[in-house]
Amino acid sequence: HLSDRLATVAAYVPDGARLADIGSDHAYLPANLILNKRIKFAVAGEVAQGPLENAEQEINKHHLNDQLIPRLADGLAAIQPEDRIDTVVIAGMGGRLIQQILEAGSNATYKRLILQPNIDVDAVRTWLQANQYQITDERVLLDDGHYYEVVVAEPGTVEYNAMQLAFGPVNMVKNDSIWRQKWEREQGRMEKIMQQLEAANQTQAEAYRNYQEQVAQIKEVLAHAG
């Protein structure tokens, strides 16, 4: 049984995909997809020995040794040409780390990337745009009090503006209520800080004007979404 977060990521894996799950830890995601007969082959990549052992335990427990291969490697170096991987998941890390992992392996192209950054999702979108991937789907979900972003990308050339990079080009069109909630909460957080700065007569401070600009941007994006 997967968490809502991992189940959302899993739903974006195409049936029959040859999957690499980079930073797999317990390998819950690829194990679940194989046990549910959604896919037949996956690599679970891990840079650290402890998490790799977690993956190996999960693989042995479900007798998945022929279909789910654990590999100790840094990022996309876990993928070998004979794996014929077409889909890559990188989930549960910061966006900057995901960006670094993608950059280090940017000589190869995959049919689909499914990325779930815990923070700094804009860094991920910026990398995708600069490396000939277009964002084909996005979702924000609330799991255990946390907002998580999922970004799906496939080869393609697009140009996103600053707002699309920050808020998500697909999110802005889908106008989903959880996505709105995330940004409304962010707006509220910033407005609270602005009130504190107002009480301290700091409305001329650069920080205050930055918040003012960001709040205006959130309002504008939410007003025009859909």
The residue among 46 and 176 lying less far from ligand SAM, judged by its C-beta, is 46
The smaller minimum CB distance to ligand SAM, of residues 45 and 169, is found at 45
Q: What is the dihedral of CA 146, 152, 153, 154, to 10 degrees?
A: 170
Q: Please give the C-alpha separations between residue 48 and each of 53, 55, 78, 104, 220, in angstroms, as whole numbers.
A: 9, 11, 12, 17, 43
How many residues at the interface with ligand SAM, by CB under 6 A?
17
CA dist 46 and 73 (Å) reads 6
Give phi and psi for 211, each to the nearest 5. Answer: -65, -40
Residue 69 or 97: which CB sits closer to ligand SAM? 97
Closer CB to ligand SAM, 23 or 95, in the complex: 23
- Please state the closest distance from residue 9 (CB atom) to ligand SAM, in A: 7
The yes or no reply on residue 46 touching ligand SAM (CB under 6 A) is: yes
30 near ligand SAM, judged by CB under 6 A: no
For 120, left (φ over 0), alpha (ψ -120 to 50), or beta? left
Span from 60-68, 90-98, 141-149, 152-160 in contact with ligand SAM (CB under 6 A) = 90-98
**Residue number, 23 or 169, with CB nearest to ligand SAM:** 23
Given 13, 69, 85, 92, the residue binding ligand SAM (CB under 6 A): 92
If 0-12 CB within 10 Å is exposed, 13-18 middle and 19+ buried, where does residue 59 land? buried
Question: Is position 93 an interface residue for ligand SAM (rule: CB under 6 A)?
Answer: yes
Look up residue 82 and give its DSSP letter: G
Binding site for ligand SAM (CB under 6 A): 6, 22-25, 45-48, 51, 74-75, 91-93, 97, 101
